[in-house]
Amino acid sequence: MTPSDASGNRWSDLDRPPLNTPALRRGLLRPDGLWTSLDVAVRTGSTNSDLVAAAASGAAKEGAVLVAEEQSAGRGRLDRTWSAPPRSGLFFSVLLTPGPGVPVELWGWLPLLAGVATATALSRAAGVDTALKWPNDLLVTVDGAERKAGGILAERAGDSVVVGIGLNVSLRADELPVPTAGSLALAGAHTVDRDPLLRAVLRSLEEWYGEWRRAGGDPGACRLQEAYAAGCATLGRTVRAELPGGRELVGEAVAVDGDGRLVLATGDGVRQPVGAGDIVHLRPALSEE
């Protein structure tokens, strides 16, 4: 991991200045707050991998935040890679320890919670409506089409969970890794200044996590389940679930249950919960267009 004060070409792109680490620490680290440390690396392989390793060695505790200006081996679900030009996005991981007050079986709500927190923050701070694709994609609208602008990856680290968030902020059309990708800039964001955007996301995450933990992880009691459903672009659509083992299931996404699973209503009238897999939003039938 390259330290944030290393020499190099940090100012090579004046439209993408480096994050202001001292200012971020002043604004986010409080004695009574969730965030206990914040470090910014110029370049690293994966903030998730680094923070998992730090947690395993005892070098990081709950509330640790690790941000990278550039990731060379960023990871998403299903071992997909995530890459972007330096300082063009927000790539960071946080260490959370729900504790004995939250049953382990409810920890699966953490990536969904992070999605709600991020979408809420971006709506306020960037003026961009961000939708959630189950379970952990962040969608924005570019030229009338849904585009993936970010993703979330949660990994167990002993008695803690590392939640990683990757978000395309200032990527231009010619920099997109795939045609279906998007960014806040392409979605018409009011700002692409990453400092206030990161502060907004972390404050929103702190608020939602606090409510969830005070409710003992109950997603209904803290209104997390309701908020996720309200912002989920997957619900109400016909989707194809690509399941482990090469199986597929097609149906209408009708709910997110208390365990965070997506419930599909299939053509034979069965309601099938999906806990893992890849979800593809299908076009409406011709008769519905």
Note whether 29 and 136 are same-domain residues. Answer: yes
- Do residue 29 and residue 168 come from a single domain? yes
Q: What angle do CA 203, 160, 59 make, to 5 degrees?
A: 90
Asked if 132 and 100 sit in the same domain, the reply is yes
Residues 52 and 9 in one domain: yes
Judgement on whether residues 224 and 268 belong to the same structural domain of the protein: no
Do 164 and 254 belong together in one domain?
no
Rounded to 10 degrees, the C-alpha dihedral 58/62/68/74 comes to 80
* β-bridge mates for residue 157, sequence order: 160
pLDDT in tens, the chain (289 residues): 544 433 345 555 678 999 999 999 999 999 999 999 999 999 999 999 999 999 999 999 999 999 999 998 655 544 555 567 999 999 999 999 999 999 999 999 999 999 999 999 999 999 999 999 999 999 999 999 999 999 999 999 999 999 999 999 999 999 999 999 999 999 999 999 999 999 999 999 999 999 999 999 999 999 999 999 999 999 999 999 999 889 999 999 999 999 999 999 998 989 999 998 899 999 553 334 3
The verdict on 73 and 198 lying in the same domain is: yes
CATH of the domain at 250: 2.30.30.100
Q: What pLDDT sits at residue 228?
A: 98
pTM over cut 0.75: yes
The total number of structural domains that make up the chain? 2
Phi/psi of residue 220, each to 5°? Answer: -80, -45
Domain of 105, in residue numbers: 2-231
Q: Are residues 204 and 255 in the same domain?
A: no
Task: State the Cα–Cα distance between residues 191 and 289, nearest whole angstrom.
Answer: 35
What is the pLDDT, as a whole number, of residue 75? 52
pLDDT (0 to 100) of residue 4: 43
CA angle 168, 76, 106 (to 5 degrees): 110
Whether residues 175 and 102 share a domain: the answer is yes
Residues 178, 61: one domain?
yes
Are 181 and 59 within one domain?
Answer: yes
pLDDT, residue 203, reads 98
Alpha helices, DSSP H, located in 11-70: 21-28, 47-57
Both 170 and 32 in a single domain?
Answer: yes
Residue 60, domain CATH: 3.30.930.10
d(CA 121, CA 232) in angstroms, rounded, equals 15
Domain termination residue (choose one: 212, 231, 250): 231
Q: Which of 231, 251, 270 is the last residue of a domain?
A: 231
The CA-atom distances, in angstroms, between 22 and each of 27, 38, 86, 110 are 9, 9, 20, 28
